[in-house]
Amino acid sequence: MNIAVTGAGSGIGRSIAEILAKHGYSLILLGRNLDNLQSTKSLLKNSERHQCRTCDIRNSAEIKRSLENVSSLYGLIANAGIGGENQFGDQDRWHEVIDTNLTGTYQTIQACLPLIKKDRAPFKKIIIISSILARLGVPGYSAYCASKAGLLGLTRSLAAEYSGDGILINALCPGWVNTEMAHEGLQGFADALDISKDEAYKEAMKPVPLGKMSEPEEVAKLVAFLVSEEQISFTGQTLDINNGALMP
């Protein structure tokens, strides 16, 4: 069974690739940086079974090119995205963030759907990686919050549209996860408050009941369950994995 993983070169995407490879899937690792993808591939079980293909998900033509000669897909993990702040003005990153996180995910799914429909499994899987900030407002992060909230609407709409094709589509909203992106956010928090990064971490964990970040492997294991053949009932759902930081 073939599964495509976007943003597979680092962080959560890399951990997802490692876990799925252990479960015996053949992976198509997608991302912008070939060196990072190859580094991920070297870590995978039966590394020769997996492929690295570069693309920028903001460019639909690049996505299609990266999927050339792929006969079918059992699943897609739409994980690629960028973070950071944005402020209205000449240097606003609004379009960069929206075009990557929301439009890029939409374009990736649309490019993969014909291949997913070709797979013979009775139920196929698409997992969209959103964020706890899809549910919370954070000053200075309007583009990121809007893009991640948009992914939840996209999940529900596509899940309803493609249920007849046996394609189950769900979203995950991780809270703090121990990745480079999270640590960049903590450093920005520390700089803004003129405190140390360790102090920023303690402040960030105060509203988290379990008082910790998740590890990327925890998110990856939840993804592995959602894409498994045994999972045939979840679709159009958003699952929160945030150590209790949000209890809707």
Distance CA 2, CA 8 (A): 15
**Among the options 74, 144, 162, 201, which is catalytic?**
144
Assess whether pLDDT exceeds 90 at residue 136.
yes
Q: What is the pTM of this model?
A: 0.95
Q: How many CA atoms lie within 13 A of 66 on its CB side?
A: 27
> What tens digit of pLDDT does each residue of 223-243 get?
999 999 999 999 999 999 999
β-strand partners of 214: 177
Instruction: Tell me phi and psi for residue 73, to 5 degrees.
Output: -130, 130
Average pLDDT, stretch 91-117? 98
Band (pLDDT 50/70/90 cuts) for residue 192 is: confident
Instruction: Note if 144 is an active site residue.
Output: yes
Mean pLDDT of the chain: 96
Average pLDDT, stretch 160-180? 97
Nearest Cα to Cα of residue 170 among 208, 126, 104:
126
Three-class HEC string of the chain: CEEEEECCCCHHHHHHHHHHHHCCCEEEEEECCHHHHHHHHHHCCCHHHCEEEECCCCCHHHHHHHCCCCCCCCEEEECCCCCCCCCCCCCCCHHHHHHHHHHHHHHHHHHHHHHHHHCCCCCEEEEEECCHHHCCCCCCCHHHHHHHHHHHHHHHHHHHHHHHHCEEEEEEEECCECCHHHHHHHHHHHHHHCCCHHHHHHHHHCCCCCCCCECHHHHHHHHHHHHCCCCCCCCCCEEEECCCCCCC
- What is the pLDDT at residue 244? 97
- What is the pLDDT at residue 19? 98
Task: Say if CB 91 and CB 55 are below 8 A apart.
Answer: no
Average pLDDT, stretch 138-144? 94
> What tens digit of pLDDT does each residue of 48-73 get?
999 999 999 999 999 999 999 999 99
- What is the pLDDT at residue 217? 97
Of the listed ranges 81-85, 189-193, 231-235, the least confidently predicted one is 189-193
Band (pLDDT 50/70/90 cuts) for residue 193 is: confident
Assess whether pLDDT exceeds 90 at residue 23.
yes
Task: Say if CB 161 and CB 236 are below 8 A apart.
Answer: no
- What is the pLDDT at residue 216? 97
What percent of the chain is predicted at pLDDT more than 70? 100
Of the listed ranges 105-119, 150-164, 180-194, the least confidently predicted one is 180-194
